[in-house]
Structure 1
Amino acid sequence: MNNRRINRRTFLKHSLSVAGSLGILAGFSGLYGIFGERYWIQLRTVRLSYRRYPPAFAGVRIVQFSDTHIGKHYSIGHVARVVALIQRQKPDIICFTGDLFDSQYGEVTDDVIPVLSRLQAGMGKFAVLGNHDMRLSSERVRDVLERSGFTVLVNDNRTIERGNGRIRVAGLDEIFHGKPDLPHALQGAKEDEFVLLLAHEPDFADTAVAHPIDLQLSGHSHGGQIRIPFYGSLFTPDLGQKYQIGLYGFEKSEFQVYTNRGIGTTLFPIRFNCRPEITVFVLETKLP
C-alpha cells in the first residue's frame, strides 16, 4: 500500500513537472512567434528553366514580395526594412502580389509611398491587388502603388524587352471581390512568349494551367503562417489551401506556381515555423 502511495505521488509530481515544462515551452513558442519569427525575413533564391524563356534574359533577377498587411501589427518602419532587403538583391524586376494593407487592423495611407518609391528595378515594378486591398478600397490602394512607381495590372499585361528577346508580365484582378478575366489579361501574348502571371490567390493555378502561362506568382496563404511540425498549417484561407507554400509543378506541363509566404500576418500577429519571405527568381532557358 505504501509503495502504491509513493508511486502515485511520484506519478503526480512527474505529471505536474511535465505539464509545467510544456506550459513554459508553449509560452516561449508564443513569444518567439510574436516577437521573433514574424520579423525574421528569409531570403530565398529559386532557380527555374523554361523552353520559352529567352536567352537574352539570362541573369535577370525577379524579386517577389507579398502580403505586407500594413496596419496595427506591421508598421511602415517595418516595410522600410523589407525595401532595404529587396534592394540588396539587385532586382531587375519587382513583383508585389497583393494585400499591401490589412483590412482588419489597418487603413490606406499615403505615408508608405516614399518608402515603396525607394524600390528600384530597371525592367519595372509590377503589382496586383489582394482581397484585403479590395475590402478597403481598390482605387485608393491602386493609387498608392502607382504613385510609388508600380504598374498595377488588373486583367492586363506588359511586355519587357531585352536584346532580341522579350517576356510578358500579366496580372489578374482579385478573385473574391474583383472581376478576374484571364483571356483579357493575356491579350496580345504570342504563342512563343514567356508569360509570368501575377495572381493573388494561388489556387487559381488550376485555371491558369490550361492557358499559355509559364509561371504564376501568388501570395494570400501566408504559407499557413502557423505550421506545426509533422502536421502542417493550422489554417489557410479559401483559394490558398491547395497550393499553400513554395513551388508546385503540373503533369504534362511546364507551368508552375510559386506561393510566397508573405511578409506580414493576418488574424493573429504570430508566425511559427513559417518565416516571412522575399523570393528571388533566377530563370534560364531550358535546352531542347
Structure 2
Amino acid sequence: MNNRRINRRTFLKYSLSAVGSIGILLGISGVYGIFGERYWIQSQTVRLAYRRYPVAFAGVRIVQFSDTHIGKYYSMKRLDRVVALVQQHEPDIICFTGDLFDSEYGVVSDDVIPVLSRLQAGMGKFAVLGNHDMRLDPDRVKDVLERSGFTVLVNANRTIERGNGRIRVVGIDEMFHGKPDLPLALRGTKKDEFVLLLAHEPDFADTSLVHPIDLQLSGHSHGGQIRVPFYGSLFTPDLGQKYSMGLYAFENSEFHVYTNRGIGTTLFPIRFNCRPEITVFVLETKLL
C-alpha cells in the first residue's frame, strides 16, 4: 500500500515537473518569436539559369522583399533597417510583392515615402499590391508606392533593356479583391523574351505555368510564420498553401515560382522557425 502511494506521489511529482518544463520552453519560445526572430532578417541568394535569359543581363542582381505589414507591429524604424539591408545587396532591380501596410493594425501613410525613396536600383523598382493593401485603399497604396519611385504593375508589364538584351517585368492584379488578367498583363511580350512575373499570391503559379513566364516572385504566405520542427507550418493562408515557402520547380518546364517569407507579421506578432527574408536572385543564361 505504501509503495503504491509513493509511486503515485512520484508520478505526480514528475508530471508536474514535465508540465512546468514545457511551460518554460513555450514561454522562452514565445519571447524569442516575438522579440527576437521576427526582427532577425535573413538574406537568401538564389541562382537559376534559363535559355531565354539574355547574356547581356549576366551579373544583374534582382532583390525581392515582401509583406512589410507596416502598422502597430512593424514600425518605420524597422522599415528603415529593411531598406538599408536591401541596399547592401547593391540591387539592379528591386521587386516588392505586396502588403505594404497591415489592414488590421495599420493605416496608409505618406510617412513611408522618404524611407522607400532611399531604395535605389539602376534598372528600376517594381511592385504589385497585396490583399491587405487592397482591403485598405488600393489607390492610396499605389500612390504611395509610385511617389516612392516604384512602378506599380496592375495587369501590365515593362521592358528593361541592357546592351542588346531585354527582359519583361510583369505584374498581375491581386487575386482576392482585384481582377487578375494574365493575357492582358503579357500583352506585347515576345516568345523569345525572358519574363519575370510579380504575383502577390504564390498559388497563382498554377495559372502562370501554362503561359510564357520564366520566373514568378510571390509573397503572401509568410512561409507559415510559425513552423514547428518536423511538422511544418501551423497555418498558411488561402492561395498561399501549395507554394508556401522557397523555390518550386515544375516537371518538363523551366518555370519556377519563389515564395518569399516576407518581412512583417499578421494576426500574431510572432515568427518561429521562419525568419523574415530578403531574396537576391542571380540569373544566368542556360547553354543549349
Instruction: Give the TM-score category using the shorter length.
Output: over 0.9
In structure 2, the partner of 1:89 is 89
SS at 1:134's partner residue?
A: helix
Alpha-carbon distance in structure 1 between the residues aligned to 2:195 and 2:114: 30
1:110-137 deviations in Å (ceiling 9; x for gaps) = 0000000000000000000000000000
Given residue 26 of structure 1, which amino acid in structure 2 is its aligned partner?
L
TM-score by length of 2: 0.99
Q: 1:3 is paired with a residue of what secondary structure?
A: helix
Counterpart of 1:38, as a letter, is R
Question: Residue 126 of structure 1 aligns to which amino acid in structure 2?
Answer: F
Letter in 2 for 1:17: S
Which structure 2 residues correspond to residues 93-132 of structure 1 after superposition, within 5 A? 93-132=93-132
| Aligned amino acid, residue 185 of structure 1 | A
Deviations 1:208-261 (A, max 9, x none): 000000000000000000011111111111100000000001111100000000
Residue 36 of structure 2 aligns to a residue whose secondary structure is helix
Distance 1:233 1:76 in 2: 28
In 1, Cα distance between the equivalents of 2:269 and 2:26? 16
- In 1, the alpha carbon distance for the partners of 2:76 and 2:134 equals 20
1:267-278 equivalences under 5 Å are 267-278=267-278
Alignment of 1:202-241 (within 5 A): 202-241=202-241
Gap runs ≥5 in structure 1: none
Cα distance in 2, alignment partners of residues 50 and 59 from structure 1? 14
The equivalences for 1:29-40 within 5 A come to 29-40=29-40
Cα deviation per residue 1:165-218 (whole Å; 9 max; x = unaligned)?
111000001111111110011011100000000000000000000000000000
- Partner of 2:264 in structure 1? 264
Instruction: Measure the CA separation in 1 of the matches of 2:12 and 2:58.
Output: 65
Q: Secondary structure at the match of 2:137?
A: helix
The residue that corresponds to 1:59 in the other structure is: 59
Q: Secondary structure at the match of 2:64?
A: strand
Per-residue CA shift, 1:8-51, capped at 9, x if unaligned?
Answer: 11111111111100000000001111000000000000001101
1:1-288 residue pairs with structure 2 within 5 A?
1-288=1-288
Q: Please give the secondary structure, in 1, of the residue aligned with 2:157.
A: strand
CA drift at 1:3: 1.8
Question: Which digits, 9 at most, give the CA deviation of each residue in 1:73-113, with x for residues without a partner?
Answer: 00111000000000000000000000000000000000000
Q: Which whole-Å CA distance do the structure 2 matches of 1:77 and 1:139 have between them?
A: 25
Matched residue type, 1:113: I
Q: Which AA in structure 2 matches 1:101?
A: F
Query: How far 1:2 sits from its partner (Å)?
Result: 1.7
Looking at structure 1, the residues matched to 154 and 207 of structure 2 have their Cα atoms a distance apart, in angstroms, of 17
Name stretches of at least 5 consecutive residues in structure 2 with no aligned partner.
none
Partner Cα separation in structure 2 for residue 131 and residue 39 of structure 1: 23
| Paired residue secondary structure (1:196) | strand
Letter of the 2:33 counterpart: G
Letter in 1 for 2:56: A
**Other structure's SS at 2:158 match:** strand
Q: CA RMSD in A?
A: 0.5
Specify the code of the residue in structure 2 equivalent to 1:154.
V
